[in-house]
Amino acid sequence: MNTEIKIAFRYIFSRHSFNFITIINILSLIGITIGVAALIIVISIFNAFQDIAIKQIVGFDPHIQISNMANNNLNYTQINNYLKNNQEIDKFATIQNSRVVFFKQNAVRVVNIKLLVSQNQSYFEFLNDNLLIGSTKINQIGNLPCVWIGAGLADALHTLPSDTMQILFTNNIEQSLLTFQLPNFSSAIIGGIYQSNVKDYDIDYAFASSPIMLKYFRDNNLESYNTIEIRIKNLNKLDKITNELKKQFPNYKIENWKDLNKAYYSVMQFERTAASLLLGLIVIVAVFNIFSSLTMTIIEKRKDIAILRAIGARTNFIRKIYLLEGSIIGIIGSILGGTMGIALCYGQIHYKWFKIDATKYIMDYIPVLVKYPDVVTIVLIAIIIAVLSAYYPSIRASRFEISENLREE
């Protein structure tokens, strides 16, 4: 250990004097420790909630969606051939999207319905992971199509699997108003009820894959639009695959789940950033204490500085002592904070100390997801800020005049 580090440690952890400056040094150390730990914990909680939300969204939304742009009709053969030969693609299907009205006795709901047009029946298998009751294996019973609806929609319609409900297509409403005739109704059977824990899907969406439903659409000249929905094998390659598709099909609209949920995704990112900035103030206050304590230490130790200069110590040597003093506090506090934050996070993961209302959330405890790049970033930023806070006091210390400080003593 070189001389500068020994002197810096002696100033911080002096065993011979316990004064106001020592107290500030300790408070600075504690402040950085708590600030870094709090940042890691809060960021890890946000990571967990964001991860859960993303899993819920991508469980129902397509990972990537291709739709026509302006008057460019989709060339299904060209797109299908490309997707079949792409090893990154897990599943894809052509989906017809429209809005219909569901009736069950006195209950009425306007619903977005997603109809599987292509023969890839396995595309809707993601519903199986969220089904509360029913099955996706049967898409029609007799001459009636099956539809799968969310738990919120089932509650609104007071319906259960195997119940029959009436469907009114929106263009029939307009026609009946013009002709003063009762609209024609079609029937469907509830094939299953799912719960995605995404409010929009549980209340406003229904799924169907029966050719009979497709016939309903065509017989009623229902206004709808087709999309090709894609699910990929590795979500970490989402942006890469999206960009490749945009280059391959520049005349079509290519969107991934982030684009389809832009507002929601932006809010999640904003909340995470805002929380980080607010908690970062704790670290900044602690670092300001380092600045204050070093400034007071320099004033108190001006005779020591003068003696060191008198015996030949260079200005760089003096500057290093005080720069190291601030850096040591920052490094120790950041490492302790990082260790404490990780320990508390894993404690919550294993022991679930802190509970939440399971009726409002999909779990009864606060989830935590530690991402080590976040931990390293927080610790490094805290150390860098601490070092920078020590820079000005160290410059000031190196510029003290020898004669003036010795004369004062």
Output the DSSP codes for 86-128. -TTEEEEEEEEEEEEEEEETTEEEEEEEEEE-SS-GGGGGGGG
State how far the Cα of 30 lies from the Cα of 203, in Å rounded to an integer.
Answer: 49
pLDDT value for 160: 92
Same domain for 69 and 160, yes or no, is yes
Same domain for 122 and 241, yes or no, is yes
Please say which residue of 205, 232, 257 terminates a domain: 257
Same domain for 205 and 310, yes or no, is no
Q: Which tokens go with 89?
A: 């693609």
Please say which residue of 235, 257, 279 terminates a domain: 257
pLDDT value for 140: 92
Q: CB 145: neighbour CB atoms within 10 A?
A: 24
Looking at the predicted structure, is the pLDDT value of residue 226 above 90? no
* Sign, CA torsion 140/145/150/153: negative
Residue of 45, 241, 206, 203 whose CA lies nearest to 124: 206
State how far the Cα of 301 lies from the Cα of 75, in Å rounded to an integer.
Answer: 80
Largest CA distance in the chain: 108
Contact 130, 59 (CB under 8 A): yes
Same domain for 347 and 392, yes or no, is yes
Beta strands in 19-88 (DSSP E): 64-68
What is the residue range of 146's domain? 63-257
pLDDT value for 353: 92
Instruction: With H, G, I as helix, E, B as strand and everything else as coil, classify residue 58.
Output: helix
Same domain for 228 and 301, yes or no, is no
Same domain for 236 and 284, yes or no, is no
Tell me what the mean pLDDT of segment 119-138 comes to. 85
Strand 205-208 versus strand 107-116 pairing type: parallel
Query: 349 or 302: whose pLDDT is higher?
Result: 349
Q: What is the mean pLDDT of the chain?
A: 84
Same domain for 49 and 118, yes or no, is no
Q: Which tokens go with 336?
A: 């302790």
Same domain for 15 and 100, yes or no, is no
Residue showing tokens 């209340």: 203
pLDDT tens-digit map of 244-296? 999 999 989 999 998 988 887 787 778 778 877 877 777 777 777 778 777 77
Instruction: With H, G, I as helix, E, B as strand and everything else as coil, classify residue 26.
Output: helix
* Sign, CA torsion 27/28/33/34: positive
Residue of 226, 224, 228 whose CA lies nearest to 78: 228
DSSP3 helix / strand / coil % (the chain, rounded to 5): 60, 20, 20
Same domain for 17 and 157, yes or no, is no
Looking at the predicted structure, is the pLDDT value of residue 408 above 60? no
Count of structural domains, the chain: 2
Strand partners, 194: 131, 150
Please say which residue of 208, 229, 257 terminates a domain: 257
Residue showing tokens 């396995």: 122
pLDDT value for 72: 66
State how far the Cα of 405 lies from the Cα of 394, in Å rounded to an integer.
Answer: 17
pLDDT value for 217: 85
Q: CB 189: neighbour CB atoms within 10 A?
A: 19
Same domain for 159 and 281, yes or no, is no
State how far the Cα of 175 lies from the Cα of 111, in Å rounded to an integer.
Answer: 19
pLDDT value for 177: 56
Contact 25, 339 (CB under 8 A): no
Same domain for 226 and 286, yes or no, is no
Alpha helix segments (H runs only) across 234-261: 238-248, 257-260
Tell me what the mean pLDDT of segment 113-121 comes to. 83
End-to-end CA distance of the chain: 31
Strand 205-208 versus strand 144-150 pairing type: antiparallel
Same domain for 23 and 125, yes or no, is no
> What pTM does this model have?
0.77
pLDDT value for 183: 67
Looking at the predicted structure, is the pLDDT value of residue 406 above 60? no
Alpha helix segments (H runs only) across 183-261: 199-204, 211-219, 238-248, 257-260
Element (H, E) at 134: strand 131-134
pLDDT value for 16: 56
State how far the Cα of 13 lies from the Cα of 25, in Å rounded to an integer.
Answer: 9
Contact 104, 166 (CB under 8 A): yes
The letter for the amino acid at 150 is G
Q: 397 pLDDT band (50/70/90 cuts)?
A: confident
pLDDT value for 69: 73
Most confident option among 125-129, 140-144, 315-319, 326-330: 140-144
| Cα→Cα distances 158→115, 128, 133, Å | 23, 22, 15
pLDDT tens-digit map of 164-221? 999 988 665 555 555 556 667 899 999 999 998 887 889 999 999 999 998 888 887 7
